[in-house]
Amino acid sequence: MRYGSIAPELFIENRRNFTKLLPPASLAIFHSNDIMPTNADGTMAFRQNNDLFYLSGVDQEESILVIFPDAVLPQYREILFLKETSEHILVWEGYKLTKDEARAQSGVPTIMWLESFKSVLPALMNEAENVFLNSNEHIRAVVEVETRDARFIKWIREAYPLHTYRRAAPLLHRLRAIKSAEEIRLMRRAADITDKAFRRLLGFVKPGVMEYEIEAEIFHEFLRHGSRGPAYGSIIASGANACILHYVSNDRECKDGDVMLLDFGAEFANYAADLSRSIPVNGTFTKRQRDVYEAVLRVMKSATSQLVAGNQIEAYHAAVGRTMEQELIKLDLLNESDVKNQDPAAPLYKKYFMHGTSHYLGLDVHDVGAKYRVFEPGMVYTCEPGIYIREEGLGIRLENDILITASGNDDLMKNIPLEVEDIERLMREAR
């Protein structure tokens, strides 16, 4: 693994916390993701199912984790089923985990080969009353491809129709929303790698460079520091492209006088960083560009101060909206009288700031968790206000990753240049 070993205590504790949420006589079963095909005999790079990784630390395809705390036989209370390797697999696909390595990596005491799963399952089902099965229940998910979990759900409900089937996702959403110290360490590392990539760009961006060349510089820095690559599709949006929120074509030439919106983050040990910065292609903001940038930065600082324990997302977003309204009035984009008389259900600022300010961050970039849950220590949220002026071909977004603590918050990206003077100075010094 590029990211090195992670102490198994993380996954042992995650399983222990999950087990506490199960009712008596409950069996939980988690499957790895598939290796997805492309065309002909091609495949995409494997990306593990985040729930299975969270509970086991295993980053390998064709894996199944079973948790059954009330099993009569102690060896059946936690079982990890793995694909058995062979000389053929070693030659063609590479190294796979041995039983001893999987035990050391996960802390799961019982490791079996995958072919044993269906012979062991009847004994487990005979004792179980409730069966917790996993699925992607992210509120923004659009699931069109059938997963291994989905295929298994169909099979087991037909094979064992009289059990009570329950959803594992709400339990994982509750747990994953609060990050442990080890998870924060991994997320800090992802943020540090992202920092290195951004600083590299400050010496590379100039008029005439293609957006995809900038993307290549980001990939280079990610890979050389142990990341497997970006945590999501990188947005390299110069000029008017910055007003397209999820622009990923990255195929335009960067022009003198443009501002470039960068939204990218490294993945490290499956954990995501999520950064947005806006920089002048020629190294110097115009007065208008600077005024808009400073307005977004003031909103960001105000919003960050409200990412504290006890606050709640709806109240938070409403407060950010009020701050944004005042900034847009100062920029002559909104009229104060119109704002006073606006429909509260359709605030005028949404024309220029149409997305939310914050979302959970963790194993997923838009991480799982109850949307309306009160902010608690251990949660990590992005903070990413923006102003997008399509008629001016100007879009500014700024984003850092914020850890909520018992005494306030901790900006995981506080070392990444953000102030206008620092951006311009570093670009000037690098030329």
Per-residue pLDDT, 95? 79
The catalytic position among 61, 325, 384, 424 is: 384
Q: How far is CA 368 from CA 6, 84, 116, 365, in A?
A: 22, 32, 32, 9
What are the DSSP calls for 356-385, one per residue?
-S--B-SSSSS--S-TTPPP-TT-EEEE--
Per-residue pLDDT, 93? 76
Question: What digits encode the pLDDT tens for the residues 210-262?
Answer: 999 999 999 999 999 999 999 999 999 999 999 999 999 999 999 999 999 99
Q: Please tell me the distance from the alpha carbon of residue 351 to that of residue 424, in angstroms, as a whole number.
A: 29
Known catalytic residue at 158: no
Question: What digits encode the pLDDT tens for the residues 98-114?
Answer: 999 999 999 999 999 99
Q: Which CATH number fits domain 181-429: 3.40.50.300, 3.40.50.2300, 3.40.1390.10, 3.90.230.10?
A: 3.90.230.10
The answer to whether the 9-176 and 181-429 domains have the same CATH topology is: no
Per-residue pLDDT, 207? 98
Q: Mean of the pLDDT values across residues 77-99?
A: 85
Among 28, 50, 68, 49, smallest CA distance to 168 is for 28
Known catalytic residue at 428: no
The 408-411 sheet, strands edge to edge: 380-383, 400-405, 408-411
Chain length of the chain: 431
Residue 264 in this model has a pLDDT that exceeds 90:
yes
Amino acid at 189: R
The catalytic position among 41, 100, 158, 332 is: 41
Per-residue pLDDT, 195? 98
Per-residue pLDDT, 5? 84
Question: What digits encode the pLDDT tens for the residues 368-391?
Answer: 999 999 999 999 999 999 999 999
Known catalytic residue at 355: yes
Known catalytic residue at 41: yes
Known catalytic residue at 246: yes
Residue 90 in this model has a pLDDT that exceeds 80:
no
Q: Mean of the pLDDT values across residues 189-205?
A: 98
Write down the domain spans for the chain: 9-176, 181-429
Known catalytic residue at 367: no
CATH superfamily of 9-176: Creatinase/prolidase N-terminal domain (3.40.350.10)
